């Protein structure tokens, strides 16, 4: 599966849903890491007691869910 990395503006918009899924996220830290994918994965792993692999999989899953959410928002039907 190919990862689509969100733009900084998308991370800002996704933060409320990310915070629901990952309750230990800190907004300032998330936004400061928006340009550094690997640092964000490490931060998620540390803040949520996950392995790096688990954190990577969680982010991939979250981004997939977000892509579906975005499709629903833009679907005119």
Question: Is residue 62 domain-resident?
Answer: yes
Tell me 7's DSSP state: P
Query: Is 17 in contact with 69 (CB distance < 8 Å)?
Result: yes
| Domain extent at residue 38 | 33-69
Is 45 a member of any domain?
A: yes
Nearest to 6 by CA among 71, 55, 64: 64
In a domain? residue 20: no
pLDDT of the chain, 77 residues: tens digit per residue: 445 555 544 778 889 999 999 999 999 999 898 888 899 999 999 999 999 999 999 999 998 998 887 777 776 65
18 and 62 Cβ atoms separated by less than 8 Å: yes
Which residues are CB-neighbours of 74 under 8 A, at least 6 positions away?
none
Determine the Cα–Cα distance for residues 48 and 35; give it in Å rounded to an integer.
20
Give the count of domains, the chain: 1
pLDDT of residue 9: 45
């Amino acid at each position: 599966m190919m990862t689509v990395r969100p733009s900084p503006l998308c991370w800002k918009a996704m933060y409320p849903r990310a915070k629901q899924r990952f309750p230990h996220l800190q907004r300032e830290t998330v936004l400061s890491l928006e340009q550094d994918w690997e640092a964000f994965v490490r931060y998620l792993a540390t803040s949520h007691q996950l392995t790096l692999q688990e954190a990577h999989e969680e982010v991939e899953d979250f981004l997939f869910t977000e892509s579906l959410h975005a499709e629903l928002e833009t679907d005119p039907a």
